[in-house]
Structures are given as structure tokens and as C-alpha cells.
Chains A and B, each alone.
Chain A
Amino acid sequence: MFKRFRNFLRRVFRKNVIKEVDSVLYSPPKSQNLQFFEYYTRLPVELQCEIVKILDFLSKHCLRQCSKQALEIVDSLHIHIPIVKILVSNILEVTICEGAGQISTISVAKDSEKNVIVTRSTKISKSITGKIESSQVSFEIISESIFKSLTKKNVTVGKLVVEFQNHMPIILGLIIKYFKRTKIITNCQTTYAKYEYSISLDSSHILDCSALRSRNSKVLMFVVAPGHPYVPGRSFLLKTIRPVYLTDTISEFLLRITGRNYSNKFWFPNFKVTDQELAHILGKFPVQVFRNGKIQTLLIPLETSEKRLLMRISKCGVVLEKLNPEQLGNIDESEECGLEWMCRNCDKSEESWFYIMDLEKKIGKINQ
């Protein structure tokens, strides 16, 4: 008798906790102007499914809570989320990227009275735009609920990018428990998994911004250097990118990197080389010039090694890369700008969009 009563209490308590967690997690601020459409329930189920397919992940979750039929419809659909990013600092921030421009961010934090605060946002930035909900349910239960919803049977996550700024063993344990089948990429900084680059944004890697401002330099470039960040379960080489401001002219910069052992790759998104600068480069270096359509490739010999400096100039920007003679191949036939995921024109994938947004957010934060 006692056992039955205890089980009953457990069931009721669990149900209430789940209900509270759901209401905290998936409750956006109330809007005033509602547009009613009472015909939805009269539509055939196939059409209801078509409508639900268009909804974003969090709206689907809200709909799930409305009725049994809605729950069945949502659970019958396959939901694919290309990228999920989990940021663990003093808060837990889960960014769900369902496509270019389709972002939902849930932040879970504890306030000074140990109440859990949940924030929803449709932006990639951390700025709090959604309603702040306070709940007595523990931080771990809410975090687990988010991970559970992302790892349901009908949900697949393409890539999970985990960024640990603080050590939180409970969250790490939950991630390992729930995202067994997902490719997890983690690093102390953000990792751009598809392209195997990680971005290093430690202040020591970036030149002094105030000094740069005095020189009126606005050209931002990215220096790629090899690195070995930690990947749980497997370890592979990732290249680290460091954002740096170009403080001198491009020809002066070329002179600097051809004479010294420096990083192997430099990206200058949206950088335009003027005719004057190009003439200056051609006059200063013994350059071989190749042209393929709108892409101009310059091959500059290096003083320090047998390698050559490949300079690719396109409408998307400039790429500088040090290559061995055997790596050159058919450089004159290449039709790619070489900027890879940093190029908005050439790479229109969701991941590229997400990484650029994430990068802009970080660069913006540094500039402030």
C-alpha cells in the first residue's frame, strides 16, 4: 500500500516538474495582436503536418503541449537541425540553427537567489530580448530538458559545437549522455567544424585595438596557424584562425611576410586591391600572374624557403597562402575565391552562414 502511494507521489511529482520545465523553457513573451485561424483543426491531418513542418523548433515544442493530436503530429515529423551550439560559461546558452536566418537561443542562468532564469531569443548574440522567467526547478533539470528535446527519436542534429568557458562537469556529463550519435566538436574557443578551423579569440592574439584605431585601419584579416585543440573521443588537427587588423598597405604587408617565417594562410574577406596597389606589387616583386575569369592569381617567390606565396584576388576578397611547389597544381584553372566559409557569395550553406554570424558577433564584441 505504502509502495503504491509512494510510486503515485513520484509520478505526480515528475509530471508536475516536466510541466513546469516545459512552461519555463518554451514560453515566449505574450503578444497583444493575435490573428486567429479557427479552421486549422478542420484541415486534414496531412495539411496540418505541412503547416507544422514550416514552424521553427521551439514553436513546434509549444504546439506539442497544446493537445494529444498536436503532440502526435509534431512527433511524427522528422526534424533536422544542422547546427546546435552549446556555450557553457557561468550560464548555459543553447543556440539552435535551423537554417540561414533561423536562429533560436535559450539561455539558462542562476540569479543571486539561486533562482533559475530562462531567456529566449531569436538572435545569435547574447543580448537578452526575450522574457526572463524565474523558476524554482533546478538548473540541471532545465538543462537536461533542453538536451532531451534535442535528442528525441524524431530529431537529428547535424553538428554540435560545444564551447566551454567554464568547467561544468554536470553539463559535460549531460552532453555526453544525450548526444551519443551526434558529431561533437568542442574547444575552448569556437570551432568551425565543417572546415576544420577553430577561431582563437584570446586577447593576446589580437593586436591592440585602440592603437589600430589611431591609424584609421579598418581592414580585418584572419591569420591561419596550425593547432591541436582537444576533441573528446577523437583528436584531429584543426587550424586556428586569429583575427588581426592590417595596419600597413598590402604591398608592405607582403614584403613583411615574404621575408620572414610567418603563418601559412591569410584571409582578407571583402578586401579590394586598388590598381595602384597592384601596380606597386607587380613592380616590387618578381611576380607570375595568372588570370581565370574574374580571379587573378599572383605567384610570389619567398626569400626564406622554396615555398611560393600565392595571392588570389577576386571580388570576394584576397587570400594569401604559402604553398610548396608540388602543391601549386593547376592554380591558373582555379575558379574558387579561396575564402571558403568566410565568403558569403560562394558558400551559401547554413553552416557558413552560422559561422560568419558567430564570427561577426565575436569580432563586434572585441571592437566594443
Chain B
Amino acid sequence: MSSTEQGTSSAAPAEPTTAPESAAAPEVPESFYYVHGKDKVVHKVSAGALQHSALIHGMISNLGYTEEQAKANPFPFENIDGDILQMVVDWCNQHKGKPTPPEDTNLPKQKEKLFDLVLAVNYLEIKELLTYCCKQVAMMVKGKSPEEIREIWMIPTDAEDEAAEKEAKKRAGKEAAGETAAAAGDAK
């Protein structure tokens, strides 16, 4: 069952704000779904807004999730922080049924939040928002020299990478030696 079919068959009352009084034709009541993040705070999102997320849209359309079921069991996204999920939900609501503009200036300025947002958006498969986020990260290094790019994105040099790899190998070797020694001790 598709999400639009659910919308027509559900007995959920229409939101008073969504139905304009002047409209002559009776409007189809919009269906709502519920999602929660790591903080377990449930967010109510309309089916139209959720269309942006290929993951959730696929879950609704493929699993035949009805609105009642959705209300009782909100979609759990345990790997997404509550405030990040809120941000994503707000963005989806803002751009519901609208063509996405070429640029979005409302993305978070804090690095940690931007990082979490990129991961969350990638997980939820929201293509447009992911493009905005990637653009914001890419613009940081546009027109910069290799040294500056390395500095901005903290890219380790090949020498640093090799040193880190060697250290990791050494550590793994030591751990393995320790484990074999412990196993031999147990056997004795």
C-alpha cells in the first residue's frame, strides 16, 4: 500500500490548519508518521515531508506501515541525536512539496553538528540536504592550496599515515603476543 492510499483510507481527523476554508473541493486529510532519535523524543512528520527521505519513504511504501501502526511504533533512529533529527525534520517540513533552492544558508555552523548532520542525512537518504551539506564542506577548501586543504580538513600526510599504520601494526602484534602468552599460561 502506498503512502497516498494510506492517507485516503485512514480515519485520522484532518489538521484544522492544513484545510483552508475557502477551498471548494474537499481536501484529502494528510497522514502523519512518527520518528524518534537517540533521546526518544517523538517527532510528528507529515507523509509529504517524509518523501524527501528515500529510506523512510521506502519503509512506508514497502512495509505497508499504516498511520495507526506508525503512531504506536514510531520509526526508531537510535544512531541519530535528537537535536539532529529535529533539524532534519524541520528541513523536511520546510521543503515539503517545494522545489529545493540552489543554496541553503540555514545549515549548522558548528563543525560537530555539521558532521552529525551529514551522517544522519546520508543514513536517511535525503539527497537534496546531503548535497547542501557536502557543498558547505566543499566550499571550505575551494580555491585553497594543498597545504591549506591539508590544514582545513586535517588530512594526514603519507608519512603520518605510514607511521600510524606501523604503530597500529606494532600494537596489534603486541596484543596478539600477550593473548598467546595468556593462553599458554591458562593451558599450564
Contact = CB atoms under 8 A, between A and B. Distances in A.
Contacts of A26: 145-146
A235 interface: no
Interface string A29-52: 011001111111111101100111
A142 B151 CA distance: 26
A70 B142 CA distance: 15
Interface residues of B, number: 32
B143 interface: yes
A37 B135 CA distance: 13
Interface of A: 23, 26-28, 30-31, 34-44, 46-47, 50-56, 58-59, 62-63, 65-70, 122
Interface stretch (B22-30, B82-90, B110-118, B173-181): B110-118
A34 B147 CA distance: 12
A40 B154 contact: yes
Interface in B102-144: 111-112, 114-115, 118-119, 122, 130-131, 134-135, 137-138, 140-144
Contacts of B154: 36-38, 40-41
B114 A37 contact: yes
A31 B156 contact: no
The prevalent SS among residues of A at the interface is helix
Given A36-B152, A47-B122, A66-B155, A42 B115 contact: yes
A70 B137 contact: no
- Most-contacted residue by chain A among B118, B119, B153, B161 (CB, 10 A): B153
Given A35-B152, A66-B155, A67-B158, A55 B115 contact: no
Contacts of B163: none
A43 B117 CA distance: 11
Contacts of A51: 134, 137-138
Nearest to A131: B145
Nearest to B162: A68
B157 interface: yes
Contacts of A28: 143-145
B140 A35 contact: yes
Interface of B: 111-112, 114-115, 118-119, 122, 130-131, 134-135, 137-138, 140-146, 148-158, 161
B141 A54 contact: no
Contact of A40 (B119, B153, B157): B153
Given A31-B148, A36-B111, A67-B157, A59 B143 contact: yes
Given A59-B142, A59-B149, 5 more contacts: A37-B140, A39-B114, A51-B134, A62-B144, A68-B158
A47 B137 CA distance: 11
26 contacts: A28-B145, A31-B143, A36-B140, A36-B152, A37-B152, A37-B154, A38-B153, A40-B137, A41-B153, A41-B154, A41-B156, A42-B115, A44-B122, A47-B118, A47-B119, A47-B134, A52-B138, A53-B134, A54-B135, A54-B138, A55-B141, A62-B141, A63-B141, A63-B146, A67-B158, A68-B158
Nearest to A23: B146
A103 to B, nearest CB: 12
Contacts of B112: 39
B161 A30 contact: no
5 interchain residue pairs of minimum CB distance: A40-B153, A39-B115, A54-B138, A38-B154, A65-B146
Contact of A68 (B122, B135, B161): B161
